[in-house]
Structure 1
Amino acid sequence: MERVNMADKKKGNNPSGSDDSFSDITDMIEQMMQRFGVGIEEFSDEPFIYGFSITQRANEDPEIREFGNIPSDYNDFEEEIDPLDGPISIDEKKPLIDVLEIDGEVYVTAEISGMSRDDISVCATDQYLEINASNKYYTYSETLEMPLKVDPNSAKATFHNGVLEVIFSVMEEVGKVDIKIN
């Protein structure tokens, strides 16, 4: 296989004549770096995190959740990025979250690294869980819909080594109830 000089590739002088599939990725990275208003060397101290999880339940469309510290409105590379809009601020992270339903309980596990227990606030209703965490270095925020109705008063939360776990009891469905008329 013939080696190609990166400077030649950038100038469009690819002696192999093959279509360079990485040129689009390189262009996207360069656009992003221009949009952030800084050079790549300035990001060596602070990692960029981006990922996604896919949940597929029977007879439902797949649910795709993003996490990381890159704002979600900049994850769509189909849209044109305008450098005149100013630099992007990355000040809020999305935690990696797993939700499991096991034996009448819902387990929510969230990775919230860099925080202490006192930095974290957790609130819940029967259908939603809200996680907020903030210190002088990071801010995490996520509101997620529970897969089943849960009893928020049954919640038990623990936080160890950057991992928050919240366990809820599932609310039993109360079927049709006859109401006596007085």
Structure 2
Amino acid sequence: MEDDWEYRRRRRYFWWDIERDIERMIEDMMREFEELFHPMRLRELEKEWEKHGIKPYVYGFRITIGPDGKPLLEEFGNVRRVKGRPMITEEREPLVDVFESGDEITVVAEIPGVEKDKIETKISEDGRTLVISASDTNRKYYKEVELPSEVDPSSAKAVYKNGVLEVKMKKTKKERKGFKISVE
């Protein structure tokens, strides 16, 4: 009986020691990360890059499940592939979500660091594409968003708050009729 109790006690302390060691490792990594990416350090790095003509880059991706059930990979940032090689551009491509509900389409774009009067949104003539562009002293954004259906440009309303742009548009009520083709 005593051996069983001793075994459980040692086992409990063994796991407690491992948990404590893991917590210490995580705390050390967080401390090093904070020191490395401190905002003042990042500003110094950006200034150093500018001296040498190096542009800072932003790159990311997200994976979502499309309406057909297949995964979709969407990239964002200012890194583009030109002839298979990565190139850093001045314009960043913001992360964008498109929501369709009833007779309305909502586009939400993350555009941090710009003033709202520096943001320009346009709807193409065919009503199927929303163009978002923003330019401030430090940042430039550009994105062409394909809309799931045609919209009425006069119904569009945009709100910018806390770095997030939300554009709501009403779908057009036009019904497209098919065109009959005679067979010869």
TM-score, length-scaled by structure 2: 0.58
Quote the offset at 1:173 in angstroms.
4.3
Larger Rg: 2
1:53 aligns with 2:54: no
Quote the offset at 1:152 in angstroms.
1.4
Task: Describe the shift of the 1:42–1:60 C-alpha distance in structure 2 as closer, same or farther (beyond 3 A).
Answer: same
Cα separation, 1, equivalents of 2:70 and 2:58: 26
Q: Would the aligned equivalents of 1:97 and 1:109 in 2 still touch at CA under 8 Å? A: yes
Cα separation, 2, equivalents of 1:68 and 1:145: 18
C-alpha distance after superposition, 1:76-131 (max 9, x if no partner): 9xx578xxxxxx55411111111111222111011111101111110003100000
Runs (5+) with no aligned partner, structure 1: 1-40, 82-87, 178-182
Quote the offset at 1:52 in angstroms.
2.2
Hey, what does 1:73 align to over in structure 2? Answer: 81
CA RMSD after TM alignment? 3.1
Quote the offset at 1:167 in angstroms.
0.2
Q: Would the aligned equivalents of 1:66 and 1:72 in 2 still touch at CA under 8 Å? A: no
Quote the offset at 1:43 in angstroms.
5.0
> What fraction of aligned residue pairs are identical, expressed as a percent?
37
Hey, what does 1:95 align to over in structure 2? Answer: 94
Cα separation, 2, equivalents of 1:63 and 1:53: 8
Write out aligned runs for 1:157-176 (5 A).
157-176=158-177
By percentage of residues, which structure has more helix? 2
Hey, what does 2:151 align to over in structure 1? Answer: 150
Quote the offset at 1:137 in angstroms.
0.6
Cα separation, 2, equivalents of 1:166 and 1:147: 14
1:108 aligns with 2:117: no
1:118 aligns with 2:125: no
Task: Describe the shift of the 1:102–1:137 C-alpha distance in structure 2 as closer, same or farther (beyond 3 A).
Answer: same
C-alpha distance after superposition, 1:160-179 (max 9, x if no partner): 111110001112341439xx
Task: Describe the shift of the 1:80–1:132 C-alpha distance in structure 2 as closer, same or farther (beyond 3 A).
Answer: closer
Task: Describe the shift of the 1:80–1:137 C-alpha distance in structure 2 as closer, same or farther (beyond 3 A).
Answer: closer
TM-score, length-scaled by structure 1: 0.59
Task: Describe the shift of the 1:121–1:95 C-alpha distance in structure 2 as closer, same or farther (beyond 3 A).
Answer: same
C-alpha distance after superposition, 1:5-64 (max 9, x if no partner): xxxxxxxxxxxxxxxxxxxxxxxxxxxxxxxxxxxx845988642222345443486553
Task: Describe the shift of the 1:54–1:89 C-alpha distance in structure 2 as closer, same or farther (beyond 3 A).
Answer: closer
Cα separation, 1, equivalents of 2:62 and 2:174: 29
Hey, what does 1:10 align to over in structure 2? Answer: none
